[in-house]
């Protein structure tokens, strides 16, 4: 017998477990392994493979369940299948086939003859979900749509894992370069000491100066060549390299001017100091390190601070410093690297992880909370408690735009004046735009773009995102959050934000259905009670029997007419 199709509740359970697996790891293979095993286990698939595109290269199997990755044929053996995958990615729609279809066999790596159905779901242009079933009744359009709805989350998670791996690789390469430069610096200092030793020996051996003159000349030439090679090396470096003695620069490379805006002459002038390059918020850190070094205390060789360029722009930099004897004192030789983009990328990844965590928590809330007001309040609090967003509000509107209810988190009493505006039907500009479109509305400068909104002053230095709550053609209201200005929403975050709005709208739709069902049941009970009251008060005898002829309902008049008490008559057969 063919197995029943997967129910809505099972689909929701699969969606939930897969969403948890997607947000749990930044290791690409581990995360995908958990996702494919969850899908295969929950949908009773025979086997499943996740194929991932590596840059511009062909798709390759990364995670599997029901089949080992090593058992998948090499590229030469599945060339036609990879071509089919490429066509599916271009169309952007899942493919569902069963063994009755003529092209059924072209969708397999190793056909065994037991396959009844195959489901292939594209994950944007980066991956493919490949699922094989031994029962045609399991794989259907509903399962395909549910897995397709996971594609945005899975796409973002794959990109986040790849970005994490790339950043880790870049850090490792930079550290290797830094170690090599430090080694060359030590060799240069060693060469200087060697030269000093040679000069001392030449003074002591003044009598043999003529005989040694040629040798000394050759050594000086070799040293100059070594210094020139070293100078070329540090001038071509993409990091700032310097030697600092008593607050003054003894040596700097060309990258110093490119990054910080000061010429070599300005940096070497007597009135120029290292603290000119340090932003006010980092000067305490640098001064404390300098004081500790002066007292002979040990400090970590590597630290980060905020630097100031000549035009006043701030840069996040990392410097690695070692302290060496120099001119009867101590000098700091260092490598300074611009890590502004890396810091921005790290903050971006951290922010997206917090947003993913908030979405996962909102989905958990949706599955258990069936009270509308508690759902809205809980969703707002979850969106800010993971620090994904700073503030959040939700407004539910009727068909005429009037306020039905609202919820907020992070505003406190500052939300009251805005709530009065909503009650008067005065929506902010972003709200009016969002109601008229499905895309997310962004406001990057609330104080200027939304000057008349009472919440604008609550968002200094932040941007706002607003989107409508809509499901099945009905608009329920608005969801709005504020984000740190340095984390302007990218496409993946707008997609996630729109998705959580869709999840909340679906929950409101589900609550409406439940309330409608309860109202219908209430009206039915009231109708039945009214019907029974009428029957029990009529003079004529009335009864109801089941298909076997047994009494299931009767009024008191029937008992009086036939002379049986109610307890004997109930269940008695009317043919008796």
Q: List pLDDT tens digits, range 144-178.
A: 888 888 888 888 888 888 788 888 888 888 888 88
Residues 6+ apart with CB under 8 A from 26: 160, 161, 164
- Catalogue the long-range contacts made by 419-426 (C-beta closer than 8 Å, 24 or more residues apart): 421/454, 422/395, 425/401
User: Helix 491-536 and helix 151-204: axis angle, to 10°?
Assistant: 150
Q: Which of 477, 500, 515 corresponds to the end of one domain?
A: 515
In a domain, 279, yes or no: yes
The reply to whether 433 and 489 lie within a common domain is yes
pLDDT of residue 56: 64
Residue 385: is its pLDDT beyond 60? Answer: yes
Residue 237: inside a domain = yes
pLDDT at 488: 55
Please determine, for residue 181, whether its predicted confidence score (pLDDT) is greater than 90: no
Residue 547 counted as domain residue:
yes
User: Residue 457 — pLDDT band, cuts 50, 70, 90?
Assistant: low
Going from the C-alpha of 9 to that of each of 13, 143, 210, 470, 510, the distances in angstroms are 6, 12, 98, 22, 13
- Judge whether residue 320 has pLDDT over 80: yes
Do 136 and 245 lie in a common domain? no
Which residue did the predictor score with more confidence, 450 or 53?
53
Q: Bridge partners of 571?
A: none
CATH number of the domain where residue 329 is located: 3.30.450.20
Q: Looking at 54-68, 303-317, 409-423, 497-511, which range is the least confident one?
A: 54-68
Within-domain flag for 423: yes
Residue with tokens 């001017």: 257
Q: Are 555 and 573 in contact (CB under 8 A)?
A: no
Residue 521 counted as domain residue: no
Q: Do 195 and 112 share a structural domain?
A: no
Measure the CA–CA gap between 459 and 446, rounded to whole angstroms: 7
Average pLDDT over residues 125-144: 82
Over residues 422-442, the mean pLDDT reads 91
Asked whether residue 525 is assigned to any structural domain, the reply reads no
Q: What is the pLDDT of residue 372?
A: 93
The mean per-residue pLDDT over the stretch 375-400 comes to 89
In a domain, 348, yes or no: no
- Say if residues 433 and 456 touch (Cβ distance below 8 Å): no
Are the C-beta atoms of 350 and 483 separated by less than 8 Å? no
Tens-place pLDDT, residues 186-223:
777 777 777 677 767 766 766 665 556 566 567 666 66
Question: How many other β-carbons are positioned within 10 Å of the β-carbon of residue 94?
Answer: 20
d(CA 466, CA 439): 9
Most confident of 228-242, 376-390, 500-514: 500-514
Residues ≥6 apart with Cβ < 8 Å to 575:
549
Residue 393 has pLDDT above 70, yes or no: yes
Instruction: Write down the mean pLDDT value for the chain.
Output: 83
403-409: strand order across its sheet: 403-409, 391-397, 474-484, 462-471, 441-443
For residues 353-358, average pLDDT:
81
Q: How many other β-carbons are positioned within 10 Å of the β-carbon of residue 180?
A: 11
* Structural domain total, the chain: 4
pLDDT class of 376 with cuts at 50, 70, 90: very high
**What is the distance, to the nearest Å, from the Cα of residue 545 to the centroid of all Cα atoms in its chain?**
63
**Cα(360)–Cα(364) distance, integer angstroms:** 6
Mean pLDDT of 339-346: 85
Strands 543-545 and 551-554: antiparallel
Q: Quick check: is 68 in a domain?
A: yes
| Cα separation values, 402 from 220, 396, 465, 469, 514, Å | 88, 8, 21, 15, 23
pLDDT for residue 119: 87
Check whether residue 416 and residue 547 sit in a common domain: no
**What element of type H or E holds 174?**
helix 151-204
Express as a percent the part of the chain with pLDDT over 70.
89
* pLDDT at residue number 3: 46
Domain residues for the domain of 177 are 169-343
Q: Compute the C-alpha angle 381/382/383, nearest 5°.
A: 90
| 8 A C-beta contact, residue 256 and residue 240 | yes
Highest mean pLDDT among 92-96, 376-380, 408-412, 535-539 belongs to 376-380
Does residue 201 share a domain with residue 96?
no
Q: Which of 511, 538, 444 is nearest to 484 (CA)?
A: 444
Closest Cα partner for 181 from 224, 240, 124? Answer: 240
Residue 22 confidence class, pLDDT cut points 50, 70, 90 = confident
Spell out the residues 6+ positions from residue 519 whose beta carbon is closer than 8 angstroms to its own.
Answer: none
């Amino acid at each position: 017998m063919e197995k029943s199709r997967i129910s809505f509740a099972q689909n929701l359970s699969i969606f939930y477990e897969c969403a948890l697996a997607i947000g749990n790891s930044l290791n690409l293979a581990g995360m995908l392994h958990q996702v494919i095993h969850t899908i295969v286990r929950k949908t009773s698939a025979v086997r499943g493979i996740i194929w991932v595109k590596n840059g511009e290269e062909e798709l390759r199997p990364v995670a599997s369940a029901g089949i080992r990755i090593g058992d998948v044929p090499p590229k030469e053996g599945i060339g036609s299948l990879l071509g089919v995958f490429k066509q599916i990615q271009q169309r952007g729609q899942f493919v569902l086939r069963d063994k009755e279809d003529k092209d059924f066999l072209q969708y397999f790596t190793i056909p065994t003859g037991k396959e009844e159905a195959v489901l292939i779901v594209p994950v944007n242009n980066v991956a493919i979900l490949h699922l094989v079933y031994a029962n045609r009744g399991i794989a259907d359009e509903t399962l395909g749509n549910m897995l397709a709805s996971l594609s945005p989350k899975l796409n973002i998670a794959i990109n986040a894992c790849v970005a994490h791996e790339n950043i880790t690789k870049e850090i490792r390469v930079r550290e290797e370069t830094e170690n090599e430069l430090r080694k060359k610096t030590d060799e240069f200092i060693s060469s200087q000491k060697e030269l000093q030793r040679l000069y001392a020996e030449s003074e002591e051996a003044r009598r043999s100066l003529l005989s040694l003159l040629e040798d000394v000349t050759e050594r000086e030439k070799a040293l100059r060549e070594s210094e020139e090679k070293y100078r070329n090396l540090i001038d071509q470096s993409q990091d700032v390299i310097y030697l600092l003695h008593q607050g003054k620069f003894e040596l700097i490379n060309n990258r110093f001017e490119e990054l910080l805006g000061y010429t070599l002459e300005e940096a070497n002038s007597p009135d120029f100091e290292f603290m000119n390059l340090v932003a006010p918020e980092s000067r305490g850190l640098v001064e404390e390190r300098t004081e500790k070094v002066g007292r002979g205390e040990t400090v970590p060789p590597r630290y980060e601070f905020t630097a100031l360029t000549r035009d006043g722009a701030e840069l996040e930099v990392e410097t690695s410093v070692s302290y060496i004897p120099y001119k009867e004192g101590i000098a700091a030789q260092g490598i300074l690297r611009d890590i502004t983009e890396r810091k921005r990328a790290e903050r971006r990844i951290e922010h997206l992880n917090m947003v993913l965590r908030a979405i996962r928590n909102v989905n958990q809330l949706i599955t258990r909370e069936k009270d509308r007001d508690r759902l809205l309040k809980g969703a707002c609090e979850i969106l800010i408690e993971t620090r994904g967003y700073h503030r959040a509000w939700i407004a539910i509107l009727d068909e005429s735009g009037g306020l039905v209810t609202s919820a907020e988190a992070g505003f406190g009493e500052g939300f009251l004046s805005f709530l009065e505006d909503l009650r008067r039907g005065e929506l902010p500009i972003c709200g009016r735009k969002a109601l008229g479109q499905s895309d997310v509305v962004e406001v990057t400068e609330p104080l200027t773009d939304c000057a008349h909104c009472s919440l604008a002053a609550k968002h200094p230095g932040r941007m706002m995102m607003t989107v409508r709550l809509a499901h099945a053609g009905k608009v329920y209201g608005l969801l709005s959050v504020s984000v740190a200005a340095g984390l302007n929403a990218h496409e993946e975050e707008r997609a996630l934000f729109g998705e959580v709005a869709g999840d909340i709208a679906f929950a409101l739709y589900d609550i409406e259905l439940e309330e409608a069902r309860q109202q219908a049941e209430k009206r039915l009970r009231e109708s039945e009670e009214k019907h029974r009251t009428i029957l029990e008060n009529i003079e004529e005898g009335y009864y109801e029997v089941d298909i076997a002829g047994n009494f299931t309902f009767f009024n008191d008049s029937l008992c009086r007419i036939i002379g049986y008490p109610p307890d004997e008559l109930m269940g008695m057969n009317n043919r008796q």
